[in-house]
Amino acid sequence: MAVKVKIPSPLQRLTEGKEEVEGKPGTVIGLLNDLEAKFPGIGERLSEGGKIRRFVNIYVNEEDIRFLKAEQTEVKDGDEVSIVPAIAGGCEPPREGVANLLFVENH
Amino acid sequence: MQALSIPKAIIDEMVAHAKGAYPKEACGILSGSGDAVEKLHRMRNADLSSTTYMMHPDEQLNVMRDIEKDGKKMLAIYHSHPASPAYPSQIDINRAFFPGTDYENFPGTAYVIIGLAEGGPEIKAFLLIGKAGIREITIVPV
């Protein structure tokens, strides 16, 4: 039995279309490095310099690894690791010129 | 998807959510079947910011799993722009793609924006067509 790794649809083109692949027990970062060896290109999409990228959520058995031991979270045979893109966005911050103008007007 | 039909009660709830969260950004998910929204899922904005949002990761996974269990689909992601128009920002577009790729995170899912700037609220829905393209789709209140 290995670790079950659920791959999000934008990365399935790197896993030959597979929604689920097998991962290596150990730590999350070790598992990602092992995935990179099997599916070149996947590792750099998920982590940079040993850290998980900001808008990538990784869960071990439905627990967000940010609340566990992050990249060092342990994964065992039979565990399920889910990789899910964060849902995020935002609006443009006010332009500096506009902010300065408001500042001048208010003072 | 050419249009998104949304029950009026859900449109009202989105606006109430956006106004209630003001001046911070509100965010949530609309689920349903085909192009018909059936349910609104309010989400916590983990950023607690007036210029960005990120859905609380635990809530996001739970809601996505619930939608799947119910045999429904995530049809749209909504969020508010407290002080700007209902139009996707560059940040919205950048974060809709998997980091370091040109692959959309949730292909086929629409983005609904509630703009609270002057004269608002205005609500618009969009689909992304690659990183350079946005197509507005009609919201049909039902």
Q: What pLDDT, in 10s, does the model give residues A69-100? A: 999 999 999 999 999 999 999 987 654 444 33
For A38, A71, B117, B131, the CA distances from A14, given in Å and listed in that order, are: 10, 21, 41, 19
The per-residue pLDDT for B59 is 96
Which residues in chain B touch residue A102, judged by CB atoms under 8 angstroms apart? none
How many contacts (CB atoms, under 8 Å) link A and B? 105
pLDDT of B109 above 60 = yes
The CATH code belonging to domain A3-106 is 3.10.20.30
User: Encoding tokens for residue B72?
Assistant: 């429904």
User: Which DSSP helix (H) or strand (E) runs through A27?
Assistant: strand A26-27
The per-residue pLDDT for B100 is 84
- C-alpha span between B54 and B14 (Å, rounded): 17
Q: B127: distance to nearest CA of chain A, Å?
A: 14
Averaged pLDDT score across all residues of chain B: 95
The structural domains of chain B, with segments of one domain joined by +, span: 3-141
pLDDT of A103 above 60 = no
Which of B51, B53, B98 has its CB closest to that of A45?
B98
The per-residue pLDDT for A100 is 35
- C-alpha span between A89 and A62 (Å, rounded): 23
pLDDT of A62 above 80 = yes
Q: A70: distance to nearest CA of chain B, Å?
A: 14
pLDDT of A5 above 70 = yes
Grade residue A105 by pLDDT with cuts at 50, 70 and 90.
Answer: very low
Strand partners, A3: A23
In B, minimum Cα distance to A47 occurs at B99
- C-alpha span between B3 and A61 (Å, rounded): 36
Question: In this predicted complex, what is the ipTM?
Answer: 0.96
Residue B20 — φ and ψ, nearest 5°?
A: -65, -35
- C-alpha span between B2 and A103 (Å, rounded): 44
pLDDT more than 70, % of chain B? 100
Amino acid identity, position B79:
H
The CATH code belonging to domain B3-141 is 3.40.140.10
The per-residue pLDDT for A93 is 61
The per-residue pLDDT for A1 is 75
